[in-house]
Amino acid sequence: MTDFFQHTVGLSFDWAWFLATIAGILLIALPLMLSVAMIIYADRKIWAAMALRRGPNVVGPFGLLQSFADGLKVFLQETIVPSAANRGLFLLAPIITFTVALIVWAVVPFQPGVVLANINVGLLYVLAASSLGVYGIILAGWSSNSKYPFFSAIRAAAQMVSYEVAIGFVLISVVLWAQSFNLGTIVEAQKGLYGFINGFGFNPLLFPMSVVFLISSLAETQRAPFDLTEAESELVAGYQTEYSSMAFALYWLGEYANVLLMCTLNATLFWGGYLPPFDWAPLYVVPGIIWLFAKILFFFFVFSWIKATVPRYRYDQLMRLGWKIFLPLSLFWVFLVSGVLMFMRVGV
């Protein structure tokens, strides 16, 4: 795209690079916003189908415009800031959550060579940026000056620490096998497993880590059965209790953008990303972005399926799963994978 602006339009390299970067950001952000709106609709329809209900079916054909009607409704509502709240932080918190949910997409490869920022430490960037999302929840809980949001913020901090450590060890196993932190290189390293299949998830040594990562990603995005930060039975609505209007909508959009991101990471790190499921030439005729979207939609269905069927964990169960099961298991797997790779590649 930089070459197009530079040679076809006749701009200098600096301006061509700037406009190409802005165009790339818009090409990712605008479809993502539309996808978030439609994925909320899909989430509600999946829950409804599993509960033998109809779900949204009135606004627009098959209820497809329901998410946009909800967005217009919250846009027209008044933003209420509690009198005892810290006004600046109260309004900044949802902006942080929403912004962080967008910036991680900069390093996601949609097709070979189709990535906004093809950096060598892409996986470290994902870890660093996604970890910042919890600050929006913590700030919301503290700045609201209300006990229920404050309890929710404490839970969110503990939950993030508990599962971020396990996710880190899981990703070390992937990096060891792919020998790179670059997401595009990690996807390409999954090509041709056993000569005919694409994906680390089909490797018996890495499949358990794909399951750990899937469950940990549910906890990282505060999805059921780990949605203890907004448990209505104890905390009314958690950190969102005092929010209304667009501030509440930003949390809603940020949550679903994070869910889509975790679905994308599951597909990219373990199930071949933009590669077809089988290393068979005719399947490569289908554009890689189509394969990636299909995998994202599958994992999103799994997320919705779990939310509709699995009851919420108690808080002690949440902590026990993270610290006593996932942490030792993922740490042991790092030693196991590194030992197997030493035997395979070095012959020690």
* 275 DSSP assignment: S
Residue-wise pLDDT tens digits, 250-308: 888 888 888 899 999 999 999 998 999 998 888 999 999 999 999 999 999 999 999 88
Give dist(CA 43, CA 308) in Å, integer: 10
Yes or no: say if 157 and 231 are a contact pair by the CB < 8 Å rule.
Answer: no
Q: Check residue 290 and give its pLDDT.
A: 93
As a whole number, mean pLDDT of residues 61-65 equals 88
Tell me the average pLDDT of the chain. Answer: 86
Assign residue 178 a region (left: φ > 0; alpha: ψ between -120 and 50; beta: otherwise): alpha
* 72-126 tens-digit pLDDT: 888 887 777 777 778 888 888 888 888 888 888 989 999 888 888 888 888 999 8
**Greatest mean pLDDT among 129-143, 154-168, 180-194:** 180-194
Helices (H) and strands (E) in the chain, counts: 14, 0
Q: How far apart are CA 133 and CA 153, in angstroms?
A: 12
Q: For the residues 200-208, what does the mean pLDDT come to? A: 92
Q: 189 falls in which pLDDT band (50, 70, 90)? A: very high
Q: Which of the four pLDDT bands, split at 50, 70 and 90, describes residue 347?
A: low
Q: Is the pLDDT of residue 15 over 80?
A: no
Q: What angle do CA 169, 259, 246 make, to 5 degrees?
A: 130
pLDDT tens digit string along 29-51? Answer: 888 888 888 888 998 999 899 98
pLDDT band at 183 (very low <50, low <70, confident <90, very high): very high
**3-class secondary structure per residue, 2-22:** HHHHHHHCCCCHHHHHHHHHH
CB atoms within 10 A of CB 252: 21
Task: Say what the pTM is.
Answer: 0.89
In the chain, the percentage of residues whose pLDDT exceeds 70 is 95
* pLDDT, tens digit (0-9, with 9 covering 90-100), for 218-233: 988 888 788 877 766 6
The amino acid that residue 346 corresponds to is V
Angle at which helices 122-131 and 87-103 pack, to 10 degrees? 160
pLDDT at residue 162 tops 70: yes
Residues of the chain with pLDDT > 90, as a percent, come to 29
Rg (CA), the chain: 21
pLDDT at 336: 93
* pLDDT at residue 9, rounded to an integer: 67
Q: Is the pLDDT of residue 239 over 80?
A: no
Q: Which residue has the higher pLDDT, 244 or 214?
A: 214
pLDDT at 266: 94
- pLDDT for the residue 173: 92
